Structure 1
Amino acid sequence: MGRVLPVVLLALLVVYCLVEVAQADPDHVRLLPRWLWVALIILLPGVGAIGWLIAGRPQRRQPPPNRPRAPDDDPDFLRGL
């Protein structure tokens, strides 16, 4: 069991990273093209997967600026009533 667990965890990490690469927007992937990230993750499972998580993932999008959430919170909407 002690020898199998690291292999299973590495396999899960590789699958997770491959799914993330496949779902990532090609224009927002950092450093390398997506196909090269896939090759790195498959050929160098531990290094490629950790490299993707640290350096390849797209940056998180910034939330939009604070805008009113409902019409009754919007001063422009209320002004037009």
Structure 2
Amino acid sequence: MLRYLPFILILALTIYAFIDCLNTPEDEVKHLPKVVWVIIILLFSIVGPIVWLATGKRRHVPAGGSTPSHGHRTHRTQWVAPDDNPEFLQSLKGENEKDEALLEDWEADLRRREEELKRRENGGNDDTPPQSS
């Protein structure tokens, strides 16, 4: 099993570099067109992925670091955790209100059906008004 480990690592590196190249926007690819990078990654199994990861795309400066002097954008869109995103929280409130209204309708329908069943069991001669909760 250990003798297959180098092949598995090379395959994993190639797959990672291939997917990374495909997901990289065209304006962040350096030195060669994206299609050429894909071909290099696939044809040169060890060297291609390593060269792509080392020089193939612009790397972003970590938050708090210095900005590049070439005028390129310094960071991608910052993702916000769902519990900090006001739009997401608002959408949850809307869904919650819809769910509560649906639940109330179902409960009212269930109460109505229970009352009908009680009336049928009593022979339909029950003069007591239905109870509401």
Normalising by structure 1, we get a TM-score of: 0.71
Question: Which structure's CA Rg is the greater one?
Answer: 2
Match of 2:7 in 1: 7
Query: Which one scores higher on RCO, CA 8 angstroms, separation ≥ 6?
Result: 1
Match of 1:54 in 2: 54
Of all paired residues, the percent bearing the same amino acid is 33
Map 1:14-53 onto structure 2 (within 5 A).
14-53=14-53
Q: Is the 8 A contact 1:28 1:58 kept in 2?
A: yes
1:15 maps to amino acid: I
1:59 maps to amino acid: R
Tell me how far apart the structure 2 counterparts of residues 46 and 57 of structure 1 sit (CA, whole Å). 18
Tell me how far apart the structure 1 counterparts of residues 5 and 12 of structure 2 sit (CA, whole Å). 11
Tell me how far apart the structure 2 counterparts of residues 36 and 2 of structure 1 sit (CA, whole Å). 34
Normalising by structure 2, we get a TM-score of: 0.45
Tell me how far apart the structure 2 counterparts of residues 44 and 3 of structure 1 sit (CA, whole Å). 21
2:33 maps to amino acid: P
1:51 maps to amino acid: V
How far residue 27 of structure 1 moved from its aligned partner, in angstroms, is 1.2
Q: Which runs of 5+ in 1 are unaligned?
A: 64-81
How far residue 58 of structure 1 moved from its aligned partner, in angstroms, is 2.2
Tell me how far apart the structure 1 counterparts of residues 58 and 36 of structure 2 sit (CA, whole Å). 15
1:39 maps to amino acid: I
- Report the secondary structure of 1:3's partner residue: helix
How far residue 24 of structure 1 moved from its aligned partner, in angstroms, is 0.3
Q: Is the 8 A contact 1:24 1:58 kept in 2?
A: no
How far residue 59 of structure 1 moved from its aligned partner, in angstroms, is 2.2
- Report the secondary structure of 1:59's partner residue: coil
Tell me how far apart the structure 2 counterparts of residues 19 and 58 of structure 1 sit (CA, whole Å). 16
